[in-house]
């Protein structure tokens, strides 16, 4: 694996941190209050405990990625620019497979027993904000990352650039869907769509299980 890959991956980690901070600041700022989908409710658990959970989940995710790079990076990720068609094809294929498996994973987590012991932690916050996007039981975080990295290994090898795009889309969509902001400009149409769909999921506990592509929910009758 190349040094450039790790530099760019570091840049994307920084970008994700900036995205979380910016969206969380905006949703709590009076200046953006008119764009809130919901008024953020008082926290279910106190901020220190929540911060600890989010921090540990981020560390856990980093460790899982580093272990993946160390053990499987050389066989799964190849260096160099693969050409536009390969780049788009690899990125879309991995994200589509990931999101399809994630759909069933997320749906299974809504089984009452799994909900009680695992996924319920994420739904404790009825209407989360970006900072709560990884407020999760660590088991849920491990499962989601295994699906993402498993899809990459199954369809790979993919180029390092494709993997960076996959990582960027995976992480920023998860942050965006929890932003609780709807921005009145056509440029944010996709952003707003994701936010509203995931808000419905948190509101109803039974629709919009897929994280990126709506058609998995459309195909299985859970789109709303
Ligand atoms: Zn859920
Ligand atoms: Zn959520």
What's the 6 CA to ligand 1 centre distance in angstroms?
32
Whether 224 is in a domain gets the answer no
Alpha carbon distance 148, 126 (integer Å)? 26
159 strand-pairing partners = 78
What's the 25 CA to ligand 2 centre distance in angstroms?
18
Whether 175 is in a domain gets the answer yes
Alpha carbon distance 128, 150 (integer Å)? 28
Residue 38 has a pLDDT of 85
Residue 126 has a pLDDT of 84
Other beta carbons within 10 angstroms of residue 85's beta carbon come to 8
Please choose, from the candidates 91, 82, 103, 70, the residue with its C-alpha nearest in 3D space to the C-alpha of residue 169: 91
What's the 41 CA to ligand 2 centre distance in angstroms?
15
**Does residue 39 have a pLDDT over 80?**
no
Structural domain of 33: 3-219
Whether 142 is in a domain gets the answer yes
What's the 197 CA to ligand 2 centre distance in angstroms?
10
Residue 83 has a pLDDT of 97
Looking up tokens 């499987």 gives: 72
Residue 111 near residue 27, CB atoms below 8 Å? no
Residue 44 has a pLDDT of 58
Whether 72 is in a domain gets the answer yes
- Token pair in block for residue 68: 């993946």
What average pLDDT is seen over the chain?
Answer: 94
Whether 21 is in a domain gets the answer yes
Alpha carbon distance 47, 132 (integer Å)? 10
- Token pair in block for residue 159: 């180029």
pTM of the model: 0.94
State how many domains the chain has. 1
- Lowest-pLDDT choice from 34-38, 62-66, 198-202: 34-38
Whether 63 is in a domain gets the answer yes
What's the 95 CA to ligand 2 centre distance in angstroms?
18
**Does residue 40 have a pLDDT over 80?**
no
| Cα dist from 197 to 25, 54, 132, 177, 209, whole Å | 22, 23, 17, 8, 9
Alpha carbon distance 110, 107 (integer Å)? 5
Whether 94 is in a domain gets the answer yes
Whether 174 is in a domain gets the answer yes
């Amino acid at each position: 694996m190349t040094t450039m890959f790790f530099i760019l991956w570091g840049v994307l980690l920084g970008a994700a941190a900036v995205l979380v901070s910016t969206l969380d600041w905006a949703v709590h700022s009076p200046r953006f209050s008119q764009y809130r989908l919901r008024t953020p409710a008082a926290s279910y658990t106190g901020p220190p405990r929540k911060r600890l959970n989010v921090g540990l989940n981020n560390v856990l995710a980093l460790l899982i990625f580093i272990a993946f790079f160390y053990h499987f990076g050389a066989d799964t990720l190849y260096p160099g620019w693969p050409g536009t068609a390969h780049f788009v094809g690899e990125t879309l294929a991995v994200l589509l497979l990931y999101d399809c498996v994630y759909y069933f994973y997320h749906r299974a987590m809504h089984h009452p027993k799994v909900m009680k012991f695992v996924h319920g932690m994420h739904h404790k916050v009825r209407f989360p904000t970006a900072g709560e996007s990884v407020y999760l039981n660590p088991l849920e975080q491990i499962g989601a990352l295994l699906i993402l990295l498993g899809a990459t290994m199954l369809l790979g090898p993919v180029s390092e650039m494709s993997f960076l795009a996959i990582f960027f889309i995976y992480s920023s969509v998860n942050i965006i869907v929890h932003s609780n902001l709807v921005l009145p400009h056509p440029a944010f149409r996709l952003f707003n769509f994701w936010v509203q769909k995931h808000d419905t999921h948190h509101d109803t506990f039974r629709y919009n299980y897929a994280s990126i592509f709506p058609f998995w929910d459309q195909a299985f009758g859970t789109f709303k």
